A and B are shown apart, each in its own frame.
Chain A
């Protein structure tokens, strides 16, 4: 079973979200990177861009597949992981650490509560993950 850290929240599209003060850091889960295989390209929004919960904010590509990245919460992009374009393999090597993608300054408080808890996400994976 893929690693699902307890302190994070999750989407059904396999992004993780981490509350840092009032901001939310976002990446894809260990399960997601395993399914994708070798990540060779990551396309992220610019700082200042608006993202909407459950809407695509970027793209991750493995050798074989192109996948949208979905925002866990709505808000403004406050930070972007500028290392990923040159080192997309960090998404495979350290999906919850160096493989982070963006930090969002949320615009709506309610989004966070809609996200899956670690237990719910584990249950979701146990049911097949889609």
Chain B
């Protein structure tokens, strides 16, 4: 059965701007406005605005909110200060990845988590099983009350700073603060999915367009442009940031995906810990690596990776990287072949095309330091 596609509060603004709309994770989203390569360069060189209102937000509060999140997520939530955000994972008890997410500590006993749009229903069912030992953690799905605009690029600080009621320059990487943007109450988070400096602005659903319009108007001097999901994908690929459903899913281990840095077994038990620690003890059988094509060809999701004709892995994401001007990919390969410099092939329409494992990120990140 076809479910009707959902629309963000900016749908009409995208259509008016001439965006090409496509289905994504159950939502009707802009894939491009001016063109993917041009939008990609705008973010690397100036500043771009992304509508990511389709993403899901849950709040959890109460005396056992911390305990519930410690149980559900892989990172150490106790180490998170109020005003700080971290990247984390929800896992199955088998150690596969249910979703990747960011966790915001709003207060000592109050948190917000941001999840992928396509996983909102699955995640909601997963997290609400955990209400703490005494039922002292209360979950609230605020996805449809919360608009989300990402402002990314070297001029993001200047642009957001002009519209905000507070000094955003003082906000460190993976820190957030409450304030207003264009007079609209917002949670300003110094985070992103592009490798550039920037912000993610959580605003009331109904006021998202006011913020969006203000950013595009105020940013003309900075060369601001709206950016679609197409460029969001090439920007994150150049950083080797995982995309759920492409690079990670319930069949992949955090340790295979290179996400061991957000798995903190020392914090105590959490869903998936035993299974992940077994993988750690045995050593992951495969690893997510960055590939650069040596032969001229584009590796795509699902293409086999070969060594001497034998299948040794699979491509999970691949495209042309506009900032590196090369055909790049992410792929799982057998651990023995994961070292930088290893020569492999990618089967492209039945033909072996030469590639090699390269250092990642493909493009140097410019996120805010400290």
Contact = CB atoms under 8 A, between A and B. Distances in A.
Interface of A: 37-38, 40-41, 43, 59, 61-64, 66, 85
A41 B297 contact: yes
B320 A63 contact: yes
B19 to A, nearest CB: 12
Interface residues of B, number: 18
Interface string B20-47: 1000000000011001111000000000
A37 B20 CA distance: 10
A64 B36 contact: yes
Nearest to A35: B20
Nearest to B319: A63
B218 to A, nearest CB: 28
B129 interface: no
A63 B234 contact: yes
Contacts of A43: 297
A45 to B, nearest CB: 13
Contact of A59 (B20, B32, B234, B349): B349
Contacts of B36: 37-38, 62-64
16 contacts: A37-B36, A38-B35, A38-B36, A38-B37, A38-B38, A40-B37, A40-B320, A40-B327, A41-B297, A41-B298, A43-B297, A61-B298, A63-B230, A64-B233, A66-B298, A85-B296
Given A37-B20, A41-B320, A66-B300, 18 more contacts: A37-B35, A37-B230, A38-B36, A38-B38, A40-B37, A40-B320, A40-B327, A43-B297, A59-B349, A62-B36, A63-B37, A63-B230, A63-B233, A63-B319, A64-B36, A64-B319, A66-B298, A85-B296
A43 B296 CA distance: 9
Given A37-B230, A41-B297, A41-B298, A64 B31 contact: yes
Contacts of B319: 40, 63-64
| Chain B interface, DSSP helix/strand/loop, else mixed | mixed
Interface in B292-350: 296-298, 300, 319-320, 327, 349
A43 B31 CA distance: 25
Given A63-B230, A63-B319, A64-B230, A40 B35 contact: no
A64 to B, nearest CB: 6
A37 B234 CA distance: 14
Interface of B: 20, 31-32, 35-38, 230, 233-234, 296-298, 300, 319-320, 327, 349
A62 B36 CA distance: 9
Contacts of B349: 59
A43 B297 CA distance: 8
B103 to A, nearest CB: 31
A37 B38 CA distance: 11
Given A63-B37, A63-B320, A41 B327 contact: yes
Contacts of B234: 63
Among A59, A61, A63, A66, max chain B CB count under 10 A is at A63
Contact of B296 (A37, A38, A41): A41
Contacts of B35: 37-38
A59 B351 CA distance: 13
A64 B327 CA distance: 13
A61 B31 CA distance: 16
Contact of A37 (B32, B233, B298, B327): B32
Nearest to A63: B36
A99 to B, nearest CB: 15
A73 to B, nearest CB: 23
Among B20, B37, B349, max chain A CB count under 10 A is at B37
Contacts of B31: 64
Contacts of A38: 35-38
Contacts of A40: 37, 298, 319-320, 327
Contacts of B320: 40-41, 63
Contacts of A41: 296-298, 320, 327
A63 B319 CA distance: 6
A59 B233 CA distance: 22
A13 to B, nearest CB: 17
B294 to A, nearest CB: 14
Contacts of B20: 37
